[in-house]
Structure 1
Amino acid sequence: MTRFAGGRQAIKPLFTQAPSTTARFVLLALLSVALLAIDHHQGLLEPARQTLSAAVHPVRLIAGLPDQLATLTDQSLTSRRELISENQRLRDRQRIYEARLQRLDALEVENIRLRSLLDSSYELERPVLIAELVAVDLDPFSHLIQIDKGLRDGIHVGQPVIDSDGVIGQVERVSPLTATVRLISDPSHGIPVQVNRNGLRSVAFGTGRINTLTIGSLPNNANIRAGDLLVTSGLGGRFPAGYPVGEVRSVTTNPGREFSRVEVEPLGALGRVQEVLLIERGDAAAAMAVTGEPGPETDDE
C-alpha cells in the first residue's frame, strides 16, 4: 500500500503548464483578425460599436469643453474690444460733426442778410483735436480745466476750445503732456461776440458763475433781446467767427445808466464737459500767437 501510494504521488498529471505569452498573443491576434473580417463582411459588431460610441460621447464632450470655452471667451473678448474701439471712433466722429454743424445757423442767417461779417469766409473744415479732461479747478476767481494734450500734440497758447454745443474757452498754458484751459466763465476772460440776428458786436465777460456771462458795454437802445443767439465775431484773432457762445437770458435797462446789463447763458457745458475739441486757427492767427503781432489777415480790436 505504501508503494502504491508512493507510486500515485510520483505520477504527474499531463498539461499542467499554462500557454506561453507568445502563444496567447498569436491566439488573440488570430481572433482579432477573424472578428475584423467577419465585421467587415457581415457588420456584426456595428450595434456594439454604436453602443460604445453613444456611451463615450458625453466623455468626449466633457473633454472638449475647456477648448470650446477658451475659444468662446477669446471670441467674446475680441468682439468686445472691437465694439468698444468702433464705438469710440463713432463718438469722436459725432463730436467733430456736431462741432461743424454748430455754424450752420450762423451761416444761414448770414446768407439771408447777404452780408459778410468781417470779410470772413466761415471755414467749415478747420482741423480739430479731441482732448479729455484730467483736472478741474472751478474756484470763484479762476475757472480752469486741464486736458490731456500738450506741446507734443501741437497745442499752443490761445488755441480755441469748444465742445459739441458751444465755445468752452481757450488754452492758457501748455506743458509737454497737458494744457490748461481758461473757461469763458472766468471773471478775467472776455470773448468778442455778435448777435447772430443782426450782427451787433460786443464783448461777453465771465462772471465767476459757471452758467452766466455778462455784457455791459451796450447802450440802452441797442437792438438785443432775450433769446438772441450770440456767436463769436472773429475780432481779436483768437476765436474764429461763427461759433455759438451763448443765448441772451435777460436785458436790463436803467434810465439812470448809460449802458444796459445783458446776462448770457453759455451754450457749452462748462460744468459738465468731459471731452473738448481744440480748433486749429488760420495761419495769420497762428503767427500772431507765436510772434505777438497780428498777421496780414487778422482783425484786432
Structure 2
Amino acid sequence: MKGPSLGVRLLVLTVLSVSLMVVDARFDTLKPLRSQIGLLATPLYWLADLPTRLWEDMTLSISSRSELLAENEKLKAEALLLQRRLQKLAALTEQNVRLRELLNSAELVDEQVLVSELIGVDPNPFTQRVIIDKGSKDGVSLGMPVLDARGLMGQVVEVMPYSARVLLLTDATHGIPVQVNRNGLRAIANGTGNPGLIELRHVADTADIKEGDLLVSSGLGQRFPAGYPVAIVKEVVRDSGQPFAIVRAEPTAALSRSRYLLLVFSDQRTPEQRATDSAEAQEAADRDAAARQEAAAPTPAVAPAPAAPAATGENRNGRN
C-alpha cells in the first residue's frame, strides 16, 4: 500500500512546525517539553562541538609549549649573562681589594716603588719564576727586590725591554739573609723548590728560634732592604746528635696567587756615600735652623738722643 507522497508529508510537517512555533510563542504549555528536549539534546551539542574544542585545545597547547620553550631559552640566556656579569663583578671586587692592599703596602715602603702585573709563569717545573709586565724601558734593573702586599717575593734576574723575569724566594737556587724579628737572630733562608716552603740552614741547635717567629730581611748583602717580612717559622726540628736544627718556614707573600707586585728601587749608594749625604743633609738643616732663629730674634731698640737745653731770654737778646 502506497503512503502519502513526499510533498504531502513536507506540507504536514511544515504546518505542524508553524503551529508548534505559534503555540510556544503565545502560551507556556510547551515549556516543560522544551526543557526536556533541551536536556536530551545537550549531549548531542557537546559531541558536535567536540572536534572544534579538541582542535582549539591542541593548537593552544602547541602554541603555549612553543612560547614556553622560547621564554625558557631567553631566561637561560639572561641567566648566563647575569652570571657572567656577577663573576666579572666578583673578579673586579677582588682586584680592587688586592690593589688597595698593594697601595697600603706601597705607603709603608720608604723606597721608590713601581707597580707591575704578573703576565706569565715559567713552565719549567724545577724553577720558581714568574714574568712581569715591566722592563728596562720602565727603569727595571737586575737584582731589584719584588714584593706583594704581604711580603718579599723574590728578585729580578732577567730584564727585557718591556718585561722582566723574577726569581721567587722558594726557588732552589735562591737565598736571602734574614733575621728573627723577635730577637735579631740572623740566618740564611734558602728555597726548596716547593712554592710554599723555605728552609733556614746552618742554624745552631741551641739557637733561640721557635714556631710562629716572623722572619724579616736583614739587609745584609745590600740586595734586599732591611725589615721586609719574608716568612713565618712553621717547624723547628732539633736533634741532640746534630749540630744544626732543621727550620722550615712559610713565605708571607702569596707567591702562587698574587697578580700585582711592587718593584722596589733600593738605595744603591755605598755606606760611605750614605753617611756623607746624611752628614751634609744634617749640616744644611742646622744652617736653616740657625737662619730661622736669627730672623726671629727681636731687634734691640735705639735710645733717643738727649734734647738740647732751651736758650734764656737774656741770651736771645744778647744781654747779660
What is the CA deviation profile of residues 66-124 of structure 1, one whole-angstrom value per residue up to 9, with x for unaligned ones? Answer: xxxxxxxxxxxxxxxxxxx9x989964641322444xxxxxxxxxxxxxxxxxxxxxx4
The farther-off stretch of 274-283 and 153-162 is 274-283
1:212-227 to 2 correspondences below 5 Å: 212-227=197-212
| Aligned residues of 2:179 and 2:215 also touching (Cα < 8 A) | yes
Aligned to 2:235: 250
- Give 1:96's aligned amino acid: L
- Give 2:207's aligned amino acid: A
Deviation at 1:255, TM superposition (A): 1.6
Match of 2:120 among 98, 115, 135: 135
Matches of 1:249 and 1:177, distance apart in 2 = 38
Q: In the alignment, is residue 202 of structure 1 matched against residue 187 of structure 2?
A: yes
Q: In the alignment, is residue 171 of structure 1 matched against residue 178 of structure 2?
A: no
- Give 1:199's aligned amino acid: G
Match of 1:95 among 93, 99, 102: 102
What is the CA deviation profile of residues 49-75 of structure 1, one whole-angstrom value per residue up to 9, with x for unaligned ones? Answer: xxxxxxxxxxxxxxxxxxxxxxxxxxx
Q: In the alignment, is residue 183 of structure 1 matched against residue 168 of structure 2?
A: yes
Kindly tell me: are residues 217 and 94 of structure 1, through their superposed partners in 2, closer, same or farther at Cα, counting changes over 3 Å? same
Matches of 1:229 and 1:208, distance apart in 2 = 21
Matches of 1:125 and 1:213, distance apart in 2 = 26
Kindly tell me: are residues 90 and 212 of structure 1, through their superposed partners in 2, closer, same or farther at Cα, counting changes over 3 Å? closer
Runs of 4+ aligned residues of structure 1 deviating over 4 Å after TM superposition are 87-94, 294-298
- Give 1:278's aligned amino acid: L
Bigger Cα Rg: 2
Q: Which runs of 5+ in 2 are unaligned?
A: 1-91, 276-320
Deviation at 1:141, TM superposition (A): 2.3
Kindly tell me: are residues 207 and 156 of structure 1, through their superposed partners in 2, closer, same or farther at Cα, counting changes over 3 Å? same
Aligned to 1:269: 254
Q: CA RMSD in A?
A: 2.6
Kindly tell me: are residues 201 and 296 of structure 1, through their superposed partners in 2, closer, same or farther at Cα, counting changes over 3 Å? farther
Q: State the percentage of identical aligned residues.
A: 45
SS of the residue corresponding to residue 269 of structure 2 reads helix
Match of 1:259 among 244, 265, 268: 244
| Aligned residues of 1:99 and 1:163 also touching (Cα < 8 A) | no
Q: In the alignment, is residue 147 of structure 1 matched against residue 154 of structure 2?
A: no
1:12-23 to 2 correspondences below 5 Å: none
Kindly tell me: are residues 214 and 297 of structure 1, through their superposed partners in 2, closer, same or farther at Cα, counting changes over 3 Å? farther
Matches of 1:204 and 1:91, distance apart in 2 = 27
TM-score when normalising by structure 1: 0.57
What is the CA deviation profile of residues 21-69 of structure 1, one whole-angstrom value per residue up to 9, with x for unaligned ones? Answer: xxxxxxxxxxxxxxxxxxxxxxxxxxxxxxxxxxxxxxxxxxxxxxxxx
User: How many residue pairs are counted as aligned between the two chains?
Assistant: 185
- Give 2:251's aligned amino acid: P
- Give 2:131's aligned amino acid: Q
Kindly tell me: are residues 253 and 94 of structure 1, through their superposed partners in 2, closer, same or farther at Cα, counting changes over 3 Å? closer
Q: Which runs of 5+ in 1 are unaligned?
A: 1-84, 102-123, 286-293
SS of the residue corresponding to residue 262 of structure 1 reads strand
Aligned to 2:223: 238
Deviation at 1:297, TM superposition (A): 5.5
Aligned to 1:78: none
Kindly tell me: are residues 177 and 204 of structure 1, through their superposed partners in 2, closer, same or farther at Cα, counting changes over 3 Å? same
Matches of 1:265 and 1:249, distance apart in 2 = 6
Deviation at 1:254, TM superposition (A): 1.2
| Aligned residues of 1:207 and 1:213 also touching (Cα < 8 A) | yes
Kindly tell me: are residues 91 and 143 of structure 1, through their superposed partners in 2, closer, same or farther at Cα, counting changes over 3 Å? closer
Deviation at 1:134, TM superposition (A): 1.0
- Give 1:277's aligned amino acid: L
- Give 1:189's aligned amino acid: H
Deviation at 1:126, TM superposition (A): 1.2
Deviation at 1:256, TM superposition (A): 1.8
Aligned to 2:177: 192
Kindly tell me: are residues 223 and 88 of structure 1, through their superposed partners in 2, closer, same or farther at Cα, counting changes over 3 Å? closer
1:284-295 to 2 correspondences below 5 Å: 284=269
SS of the residue corresponding to residue 283 of structure 1 reads coil
Q: Normalized per residue, which structure has more helix?
A: 2
Deviation at 1:202, TM superposition (A): 0.5
Kindly tell me: are residues 130 and 202 of structure 1, through their superposed partners in 2, closer, same or farther at Cα, counting changes over 3 Å? same
Deviation at 1:185, TM superposition (A): 0.3
The farther-off stretch of 129-138 and 222-231 is 129-138
- Give 2:105's aligned amino acid: E
